[in-house]
């Protein structure tokens, strides 16, 4: 047969060629595995570039978020300033009108109550006109958020009251207000003019 006629040298060469082919395949396979394990320099550069870009994106995103927060804070502060300007823009004008209200109050207090009768029609009409004017101005004040402070009997509050004197008063608790010398006013909850008061102190 052919197998028997084949010389030992040819068989050895075939075997060697086969082994060589197997070794070549193994070397190629090992080389491919090494390439898989160790990335090329191009892949390393791409990975580094990707990391840099991701870091830059993160930084830009943080700056954008901070810019948005700053813009929102500015908007809120501006809105608050506008609202306060609307509320307290009449503060100076109101303060001037308080003097008028004080004069009206003093005028009505100065009229002797026993003289207000039908026998004195002119005085009675004048007094009633003053009272009506005082009531009307207080309505206007209230409409615009301006309220009186007449704190007799209340606890002394340095944010709303100004103490002119301290005096012992029998039957009243120390620290309370015994006398209001001048009415105070608040504009939308903010003290526009403190009430001038006398405060009870320990005997």
**Domain count of the fold of the chain:** 2
Contact 181, 164 (CB under 8 A): yes
Cα–Cα distances in angstroms (integers) from residue 156 to residues 71, 148, 180, 183, 197, in the given order: 43, 16, 11, 14, 9
Domain extent, residue 190, equals 146-202
List residues bridging with 190 in a β-sheet. 187
List residues bridging with 167 in a β-sheet. 200
Give the model confidence (pLDDT) of 23-46 as tens digits.
Answer: 555 555 555 555 554 567 888 888
Establish if 26 belongs to a structural domain.
no
Is there a single domain that holds both residue 139 and residue 49? Answer: yes
Rounded to two decimals, the pTM is 0.62
Q: Which of 184, 188, 186 is nearest to 86 (CA)?
A: 188
Establish if 90 belongs to a structural domain.
yes
Averaged confidence pLDDT in the chain: 84
Give the model confidence (pLDDT) of 81-137 as tens digits.
Answer: 888 888 888 898 999 999 999 999 999 999 898 888 888 899 999 999 999 999 999
Q: Which of 144, 146, 142, 140 is nearest to 185 (CA)?
A: 146
Establish if 34 belongs to a structural domain.
no
Q: What is the pLDDT of residue 171?
A: 86
Q: Which of 148, 120, 151 is nearest to 134 (CA)?
A: 148
**Alpha helix (H) residue ranges in the chain:** 2-5, 8-37, 41-88, 91-110, 121-143
């Amino acid at each position: 047969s052919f197998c028997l006629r084949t010389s030992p040298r040819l068989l050895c060469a075939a075997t060697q060629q086969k082994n060589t082919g197997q070794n070549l395949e193994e070397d190629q396979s090992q080389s491919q595995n090494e390439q898989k394990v160790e990335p090329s320099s191009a892949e390393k550069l791409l990975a580094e570039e990707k990391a840099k870009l991701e870091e830059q994106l993160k930084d830009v995103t943080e700056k954008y978020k901070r810019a948005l927060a700053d813009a929102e804070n500015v908007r809120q502060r501006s809105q608050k300033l506008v609202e306060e300007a609307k509320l307290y823009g009449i503060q100076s004008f109101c303060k001037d009108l308080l003097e008028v209200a004080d004069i009206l109050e003093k005028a009505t207090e100065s009229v002797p109550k026993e003289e207000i009768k039908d026998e004195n029609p002119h005085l009675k009409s004048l007094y009633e006109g003053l009272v009506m004017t005082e009531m009307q101005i207080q309505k206007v004040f209230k409409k615009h958020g301006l309220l009186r402070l007449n704190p007799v009997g209340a606890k002394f509050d340095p944010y709303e009251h100004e103490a002119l004197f301290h005096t012992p008063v029998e039957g009243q608790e120390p620290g309370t207000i015994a006398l209001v010398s001048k009415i105070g006013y608040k504009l939308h909850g903010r003290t526009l003019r403190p009430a001038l008061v006398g405060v009870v102190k320990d005997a």
